[in-house]
Amino acid sequence: MNFDKEYDASGLSCPLPILKTKKALADMASGQVLKVLSTDSGSVKDMQAFAEQTGNSLLATEEASGKFTFYMKKK
């Protein structure tokens, strides 16, 4: 999937992946896509919840051997 910016939150625990995602999105333009990497299994549900509550779109979630990848499109 195409993306405009990437943030690696690997090794970080709740709530840092969410807080860092929010920060990374801050200087992006509407419609741009942020790719976030995480090793926190809790972030799967949290990213969904973040998207629902902020209006950003979680385009896809991928998992591969304990690594999670999220694609978040900015509102």
Partner 1 sequence: MSSKKMAIIATKGTLDMAYPPFILASTAAALGYEVQVFFTFYGLQLLRKDLSSVMISPLANPAMPMPVPMPVMVQMLPGMESMATMMMKQKLKKHGVASLEELRDLCLEAEVKFVACQMTVDLFEFDKSEFIDNIEYGGAATFLGFAGDTDICLFV
Provide the binding-site residues for partner 1, judged by CB under 8 A: 11-16, 18-19, 21-22, 39-40, 50, 53-54
Query: Which residue carries 């998207």 as its tokens?
Result: 51
Does 14 participate in catalysis according to the annotation? yes
Please state the closest distance from residue 23 (CB atom) to partner 1, in A. Answer: 8
How is 29-50 classified by DSSP, letter by letter? PTT-EEEEEE--TTHHHHHHHH
Whether the CB-CB separation of 59 and 71 falls below 8 Å is answered with: yes
- Nearest-approach distance from CB 8 to partner 1, in angstroms: 12
Q: Out of 4, 6, 11, 14, which one is annotated catalytic?
A: 14
